[in-house]
Amino acid sequence: MSRAKREALEWVQAILITLVIFLVYNFFFATTTVYNTSMFDTLVEKDMLFMVKLGKIQQGDIVSFKSELTLSKADYDSLNIIQKLMHKEGERKNLIKRVIAGPNDTIEIVNGVVKVNGVVLDEPYIYSPTNKTVPLETVPEGKYFVMGDNRSVSYDSRDLGFVSEEDIIGKVIFRFMPLNKIGTVN
């Protein structure tokens, strides 16, 4: 085989391997960046997170999902150049919240006390007290009730309602930036 053919074959092989890695990554994994303080102090602005797209979602998991909120011109203008390439004004905003209750669970919030299935939730991760009241209701099949850890500023299921399973992008498993905070996210 000539040298030119060998080099062409190596290029094709490299491109195919890159394509397979890209497809596998995009099917099973995703990344996101934190843009607000609703998950403080578990997550802070500019944290970069690695997510897995498959697997069972459980109470306590931190998830990213497409909300009904849209990216305003001001939101878009605040993005860096790379982020602007991946987003456009008017698209649905991705939010990051903690799963509090899942399908068929009951949820109730009264006087800052969160109860799931009638049991008071132990929430050592919350940063600010839980505000707003949620009357006793059952989470529908295929839906989740989510809240931020910084409850006084979080726009979550108390305002948005339940999150559909099909809107969930992935479950946060790892923080890779900033480097001094690299590791798993609880």
**Residue 38 bears catalytic tag:** yes
Supply 52's token pair.
């897995």
- Kind of pairing, strands 134-138 and 106-110? antiparallel
Q: Which of 64, 97, 154, 157 is catalytic?
A: 97
97 is a catalytic site residue: yes
Token code pair at residue 6: 């060998």
- Judge if the upstream peptide bond of residue 47 is cis by omega within 30 degrees of 0: no
Q: What are phi and psi of 34, to 5 degrees?
A: -85, 130
The residue from 2, 5, 38, 84 that is catalytic is 38
Distance CA 169, CA 125 (A): 22
Nearest by Cα to 118 from 133, 137, 102: 137
Catalytic residue ranges: 38, 97
